[in-house]
Amino acid sequence: MSHADLSLVDAYWRAANYLSAGQIYLMDNPLLTEPLAPEHIKPRLLGHWGTTPGLNFVYAHLNRIIRERDLDVLFLTGPGHGGPALLANTWLEGTYSETYPDVPRDGEGMRKLFRQFSFPGGVPSHVAPEVPGSIHEGGELGYSLAHAFGAAFDNPGLIVACVVGDGEAETGPLAASWHVNKFLDPISDGAVLPILHLNGYKIANPSLLARIPHDELDSLLRGYGYAPFYVQGDDPDDMHARMAEVLDQVVDEIHRVKQRTDRPRWPMIVLRSPKGWTGPSEVDGVPIENTWRAHQVPLAGVRENPEHLRQLESWLRSYLPGELFDGDGRPRAELSELVPRGDRRMGATPHANGGLLLRELKMPGIRAHAVEVVKQGSTHSEPTRVLGRLLRDVITLNQADFRIFGPDETASNRLDAVFEVTGKQWQAETLPVDEHLVRDGRVVEVLSEHLCQGMLEGYLLTGRHGLFNCYEAFIHIVDSMFNQHAKWLKTHKRLDWRRPIASLNYLLSSHVWRQDHNGFSHQDPGFIDHVMNKKAEVVRVYLPPDTNTLLSVADHCLRSKDYVNVVVAGKNETPDWLDIDEAVLHCTRGAGIWEWASNDEDEPDVVMACAGDAPTVEVMAAVKLLREHLPSLRVRVVNVVDLMRLQPDTEHPHGMPDREFDALFTADRPVIFAYHGYPWLIHRLTYRRTNHHNIHVRGYKEEGTTTTPFDMLVLNDMDRYRLVIDVIDRVPGLGPKAARLRQLMQDQRTRHHAWIREHGEDLPEVRDWTWQ
Amino acid sequence: MSHADLSLVDAYWRAANYLSAGQIYLMDNPLLTEPLAPEHIKPRLLGHWGTTPGLNFVYAHLNRIIRERDLDVLFLTGPGHGGPALLANTWLEGTYSETYPDVPRDGEGMRKLFRQFSFPGGVPSHVAPEVPGSIHEGGELGYSLAHAFGAAFDNPGLIVACVVGDGEAETGPLAASWHVNKFLDPISDGAVLPILHLNGYKIANPSLLARIPHDELDSLLRGYGYAPFYVQGDDPDDMHARMAEVLDQVVDEIHRVKQRTDRPRWPMIVLRSPKGWTGPSEVDGVPIENTWRAHQVPLAGVRENPEHLRQLESWLRSYLPGELFDGDGRPRAELSELVPRGDRRMGATPHANGGLLLRELKMPGIRAHAVEVVKQGSTHSEPTRVLGRLLRDVITLNQADFRIFGPDETASNRLDAVFEVTGKQWQAETLPVDEHLVRDGRVVEVLSEHLCQGMLEGYLLTGRHGLFNCYEAFIHIVDSMFNQHAKWLKTHKRLDWRRPIASLNYLLSSHVWRQDHNGFSHQDPGFIDHVMNKKAEVVRVYLPPDTNTLLSVADHCLRSKDYVNVVVAGKNETPDWLDIDEAVLHCTRGAGIWEWASNDEDEPDVVMACAGDAPTVEVMAAVKLLREHLPSLRVRVVNVVDLMRLQPDTEHPHGMPDREFDALFTADRPVIFAYHGYPWLIHRLTYRRTNHHNIHVRGYKEEGTTTTPFDMLVLNDMDRYRLVIDVIDRVPGLGPKAARLRQLMQDQRTRHHAWIREHGEDLPEVRDWTWQ
């Protein structure tokens, strides 16, 4: 690298640092054309300076090499708190003003850029969806590297440069993410370049990885499977020279890895630079630069404290803004020599606005996979096994655009038909005994829900499609990641320039009612409740009662955009209730009366409602008992697939108007509702409805252990016998026959208890039960 | 080690393996006194064989060295699925029968031991709370090592032997846990001995760490800071000799580390043994042992398949049960030579039944810390800062029994008074610039909520006290860990022999309403909703409105047992509403009328209810506006501290009877309820109440960004102006004066919007607002 080249990189870096500090402090006088005065300073000083100069350093150097080698680079900001850095760089390179023409690349634009930062009505302080070039917020730490790997899959020409903060590096998800290099295929996938940024400190503590001996750190990173390159120091000239040299080596190494077939050892960079680099080194006699005190705003009370004001001015002028910007506030022409062209600019890459690259998923059609249903409930099938065949064909039709992620459970969840056409991606050692491990496969399995979620998010945000299949109980592991993705989606949908991306689809199987064998720790249906707290415009929950409805729901979800879809479906044999036409119609409606199962002739004595596969079986079994023993009782069966339908249409786009709700659930008849999850959710969704006081919900109430499937229902009072008792207790005037049936049901529950303790399996009449 | 000693270890291991396989398969004929017949086989074969022989191997060898050196060892089973192993070993050593006298250590006891396993009415298949000697379920993978470190803190004489499965090792929390060795103090804390069990496979895949080159694995573990010792092979004799040798070395090394003052490099063991070791090597021509197929039940359909039945019998007999048990089914006397004595038996250690060791927390008394409140609302203080002083004194009084865990936020949450008497524990490198880093401190900070939660759980379960302080939004990171702890507590409380332990206390600060500066990613109050899904008997949620109520709540929570307490409290200046006497009374009641703020004279026109510090301020500000503009309106103010009070007493032990609820909230007047979190929770808690249809709730509805504190309230329609409008819209017949006030309030909201965009901070009348 010539000295002139490095001077340019340094000028660019100084410009970005100036623009970053300016955002934190200034609401006027952006070019310091007059002496800094209190009225130029924002009344509230917000922002994270500490990480920012390091991010600017990396960005400037990446610009240099992108431009020099025409690289396709996506930049991920693990320390997403450093919003000023990305805003500064995208403004400098022009992409910010192209995205937001009201913030032009001139003096007035700079004033707006500064003022809007962390300002009411302005832009958030983090690398939020509003920032061009970003797929990663970084407000909640830990997911950058998993996002990076997800973005790199099936993008063979892409380099994902991912800055990992040393704070973030202490989190669990990040610590696990290093190992994803055992999946990435050098041929068919892109490269991930982790840049571990050791600036040494968090909010109030040193970071662990900055305080272990160099040899130990090196050993750790080599143990993760990387070849680390170190850039370390605080002298800008030395650091520029070293960073340029290392980036050249690293890019050479990436190309070398991608041309070989032996097990890859990807390069990575360790950048050890001071926290708050180039900022105030001391304030009021206390060291700031290179300490945790530089984390947020290094100089406080600037409006009130003339000494701090003076110090701020001298800090800002230390970047020599007059050399960087012309009199109109435009970056000087020579700076543009460092800016990559067009979409090569990291703020303009279409990978960060995945909807631009999104190809519609080719769907194979669900009818070919439907199970034949001559008469409702007369046959049985395993819903997720049949879904596996649909997914197999989705994979065939969409080779480089669709992936399935799962924590070692794809076969356990009975989706293994996919292995007829693909394998599990794997670059670690293989043995002859292995099955389905391949270099380039559509399935990625690792025993970490965090990694599955993170990789899928990265994959979707860069314009592809996918599915996360998981045991229902353990999806709570990613509650917080779901939160952040839902928040991202909400904001993304409100930005015109961000194009729709594929929905994040959860298939939750091995659910609460069939974890009788694994016990209490595996029994938890609460993810639905968690999801319901997020904006109605981004969340959907489906509980298909059988195989064909699962196919219909899956078809709908896989085609959809900008949602999080939660589908809960069993893997065990369950009655086929609806043929494919009925299933599509029922799923389109989202909830409906099953007339073939009802005998109410529009005047029910009781409504038996169900949502979920296990509750549907119990309701149907209860209905059969009622028909047999109380044939004159008019029972209506309502099945709910789309849980959002229960809400008023004022609350959720899928919500039903009250009239429609009353038409299904009546205005005054008792409703016995068997629900898959915690019962109170049904109350929450329906409490504004006319008949709410008459809705009696059964569901999971946190009772369970290792037992039989039917005992799980009994323990939680959702078994058929209990449902019959509920009907008898709620419908007035049923007479002595009902009283006898009630006793019979109680006897059956007692008999069940004794039977399972004696035989270790369920009552024969339960095991062999069929509707037809 | 002599050959005789190793024969004994082998015999013990074979006995445990026999007892493990027996639990999975047999419901009768436990000693194989007659040929195995289908009726001896359980109808449903459940259990995880794969990990079990390895666990048995480790347990037997630990017995040997405990006995030989009189060690105090707590055993943690990361692969908690291997329940049969721990049940077998505790039965063999006698602790199981001491805990459960109905399962004696004889033939009949063995029959019961076998039959009860994974059998209805029997015992769970995992290492659940029912298992003596356990503090770790292991159903949800990833937390064993964090639990181990938590258990080792302040137990200088203890060795926590923690088996980490290679599946579990892929999870985020486990990957991060290795680094906790940078906190553990060799002098004042115990030792953690990680035993990474590479049996090579998960449910359906190889494990990552088993498929990287040896050098890379070694480099990784050294990079984590350990000195690994390897035990590898499949020949039992060789493996016994090697394991005994390594255990001797490792225990020597632990003693050496504990006697030195340089930075410790703790030893660990890597045990590479076949999955399903000593089980069927092939079934139906397919390899089983040393493949993923050994994960659960290696031989299926044994009742129906005579060949499988024969194979099972020969497998079971391969352990030579006749040599291991006498004719009455008692373990032969020579086996007892390996069993440690009394409480040294790992199933009997009091560390695993922490309540036995629990010392009552010495509380300093809250009055000395209370803020003086001469007139309600006339002074201000920072609640968590004052709490910090209480915690400081708790630390002083309970040196080795109390710890605070937090993700780098103890100072940010303004608890830093604790650093007057203690420091942050830290064994990594220190620099002169560092503050409060000490070798032995009561505060543990690491940027991983998973680790904070895991360490605290381990600390509590072994009989100590503690607190987890966290930003409210990011506590969702441990949703799933909370689930598992709540499930553990529920079961633990139902077991007479398990003694009460200290509650798990969450202090959630930096909450949704004051993350205006950090933005949308930091705004999420949903943990409360998540917690509410667990059993009422174990969960409590408190929303103290000011400093003195926070002191009272904290005092109560720190003294409590067997709960999870969630306390949400702000760190920013807030009015002091109650003096300490009023605060204690109010918190004891959990909810009550603030008569000094009300003018309803028992006949309110409207009830203004609030729960949470920010909502309380807004309600009070709205009340003040109403008083000023509509003095004849009778307003009652109700404040709720203990959220559980809102539920009926049939739902939660803290719930209010309907009569009491009606006395507070009236039977027919409009209630405007400003709530800290998502508004629907209040509906869920109150939907059965008389006046529910009249309760109008304001709360967080997922709107937010980087803005001002008051704007967060406006964005979510919970600001004082909106609350006044709500009152006017709900109370009939207020006349033209109210209509004018309504317009004024709307104007104020408009003015607010314009003001913050112009000035970047809140309206002066909001910033300077006081009640008095």
pLDDT digits (tens, 9 = 90+) for B295-334: 999 999 999 999 999 999 999 999 999 999 999 999 999 9
Domain boundaries, chain A: 6-342, 366-575, 593-768
CATH 3.40.50.970 is held by the domain A366-575: yes
Tokens for B33? 């006194």
The whole-chain average pLDDT of chain B stands at 96
pLDDT of amino acid B4: 74
Which residues in chain B touch residue A43, judged by CB atoms under 8 angstroms apart?
A: 759-761
Segment A310-335, tens digit of pLDDT: 999 999 999 999 999 999 999 999 99
Which residues in chain A touch residue B137, judged by CB atoms under 8 angstroms apart?
A: 521
Tally C-beta pairs within 8 A across A and B. Answer: 342
CB contact under 8 A, B520 and A124: yes
CB contact under 8 A, A173 and B172: yes
What is the amino acid identity at position B46? L
Distance from B768 to chain A by nearest Cα, in Å? 15
pLDDT of amino acid A2: 78
Please say if the pLDDT value at position A164 is more than 90.
yes
DSSP A19: H
Q: Which of B167, B224, B479 sits opposite A480 (nearest CB)?
A: B479
Nearest chain B residue to A81 by CA distance is B518
The span from the CA of A250 to the CA of A233, in Å, is 19
CB contact under 8 A, A172 and B707: no
Please say if the pLDDT value at position B399 is more than 90.
no
What count of other Cβ atoms lies within 10 Å of the Cβ of residue B256?
12
The span from the CA of A479 to the CA of A481, in Å, is 6
Alpha-carbon distances of A742 from A695, A728, A767, B183, B449, rounded to whole Å: 20, 7, 22, 61, 50
Separation of first and last alpha carbons in chain B: 80
Nearest chain A residue to B433 by CA distance is A291
Share of chain A above pLDDT 70, in %: 100
In this prediction, residues A425-430 reach a mean pLDDT of: 96
Q: A729-767 burial by CB neighbour count: b if 16+ within 10 A, else e?
A: ebbeebeeebeebbeebeebeeebeebbeebbbbbeebe
Interface test with B, best of A149, A164, A479 (most B CBs within 10 A): A479
Distance from B764 to chain A by nearest Cα, in Å? 13
Tokens for B107? 């033939």
- Residues B725, B726, B728: CA angle, nearest 5 degrees: 65
CB contact under 8 A, A530 and B530: yes
Please say if the pLDDT value at position A519 is more than 90.
yes
Token pair 């560092």 in the structure block, residue? B434
Please, which pLDDT band fits residue B144 given cuts at 50, 70 and 90? very high
Exposure of A2 by Cβ count < 10 A (0-12 exposed, 13-18 middle, 19+ buried)? exposed
Segment A649-683, tens digit of pLDDT: 998 999 999 999 999 999 999 999 999 999 999 99
Which residues in chain A touch residue B450, judged by CB atoms under 8 angstroms apart?
A: 171-172
CB contact under 8 A, A680 and B684: yes
pLDDT of amino acid A88: 98
The span from the CA of A494 to the CA of A124, in Å, is 14
pLDDT of amino acid B239: 98
CB contact under 8 A, B172 and A142: yes
The span from the CA of B718 to the CA of B710, in Å, is 9
CB A594 within 8 A of CB A656: no
Q: Answer positive or negative: Cα dihedral of B233, B234, B238, B243.
A: positive
The span from the CA of A739 to the CA of A418, in Å, is 52
Please, which pLDDT band fits residue A424 given cuts at 50, 70 and 90? very high
Please, which pLDDT band fits residue B141 given cuts at 50, 70 and 90? very high
CB contact under 8 A, B167 and A447: yes
From start to end of B490-560, where are the E strands? 504-509, 539-542
Please say if the pLDDT value at position A630 is more than 90.
yes
Q: Which of A207, A519, A711 sits opposite B124 (nearest CB)?
A: A519
Would you tell me which CATH number, out of the four given (1.10.1050.10, 3.40.1190.20, 3.40.50.920, 3.40.1080.10), belongs to the domain B593-768?
3.40.50.920
Phi-psi region of A29 (alpha: psi -120 to 50; beta: other; left: phi over 0): left
Which residues in chain A touch residue B428, judged by CB atoms under 8 angstroms apart?
A: 206, 208, 211-212
Please say if the pLDDT value at position B262 is more than 90.
no
Nearest chain A residue to B694 by CA distance is A688
The span from the CA of B226 to the CA of B181, in Å, is 8
pLDDT of amino acid B263: 86
The span from the CA of A298 to the CA of A283, in Å, is 8
CB contact under 8 A, A204 and B408: yes
Nearest chain B residue to A416 by CA distance is B204
* CATH architecture, domain A6-342: 3-Layer(aba) Sandwich (3.40)
Distance from A433 to chain B by nearest Cα, in Å? 7
pLDDT of amino acid B102: 98
Which residues in chain A touch residue B517, judged by CB atoms under 8 angstroms apart?
A: 44, 46, 118, 125
pLDDT of amino acid B2: 78
In this prediction, residues A362-374 reach a mean pLDDT of: 96
Interface test with A, best of B114, B136, B452, B533 (most A CBs within 10 A): B533
CB contact under 8 A, B477 and A474: no
pLDDT of amino acid B168: 97
Nearest chain B residue to A136 by CA distance is B521
User: Residue A61: enclosing H or E segment and its boundaries?
Assistant: helix A52-69
Distance from A222 to chain B by nearest Cα, in Å? 7
In this prediction, residues B575-590 reach a mean pLDDT of: 98
Please, which pLDDT band fits residue A3 given cuts at 50, 70 and 90? confident
Q: Which of A170, A448, A526 sits opposite B170 (nearest CB)?
A: A448
What count of other Cβ atoms lies within 10 Å of the Cβ of residue A342?
8
Segment B93-119, tens digit of pLDDT: 999 999 999 999 999 999 999 999 999
Nearest chain B residue to A692 by CA distance is B687
Distance from A64 to chain B by nearest Cα, in Å? 32
Segment A465-493, tens digit of pLDDT: 999 999 999 999 999 999 999 999 999 99
Distance from B523 to chain A by nearest Cα, in Å? 10
pLDDT of amino acid A253: 97
CB contact under 8 A, A222 and B216: yes
Segment B481-517, tens digit of pLDDT: 999 999 999 999 999 999 999 999 999 999 999 999 9
Fold match, A6-342 / A593-768: yes
Tokens for A601? 């002739």
CB B137 within 8 A of CB B81: no
Which residues in chain A touch residue B179, judged by CB atoms under 8 angstroms apart?
A: 170, 175, 208
pLDDT of amino acid A655: 95
CB A706 within 8 A of CB A516: yes
Please say if the pLDDT value at position A496 is more than 80.
yes
Please, which pLDDT band fits residue B213 given cuts at 50, 70 and 90? very high
Segment B42-93, tens digit of pLDDT: 999 999 999 999 999 999 999 999 999 999 999 999 998 999 999 999 999 9
Distance from A676 to chain B by nearest Cα, in Å? 14
The helices-and-strands tally (H runs, E runs) of chain A is: 25, 22
Q: Which of A203, A480, A757 sits opposite B121 (nearest CB)?
A: A757
Please say if the pLDDT value at position A420 is more than 90.
yes
The span from the CA of A456 to the CA of A407, in Å, is 12
pLDDT of amino acid B260: 82
From start to end of B17-157, where are the E strands? 72-77
Which residues in chain A touch residue B687, judged by CB atoms under 8 angstroms apart?
A: 683, 687, 692
The span from the CA of B132 to the CA of B496, in Å, is 12
DSSP string, A181-219: GGT--TTTS-EEEEEEEE--B-SSSB-GGGGS-HHHHHH
Which residues in chain B touch residue A128, judged by CB atoms under 8 angstroms apart?
A: 519-521
CB contact under 8 A, A424 and B205: yes
Name the β-bridge partners of A283. A286
Nearest chain A residue to B288 by CA distance is A433
pLDDT of amino acid A4: 74
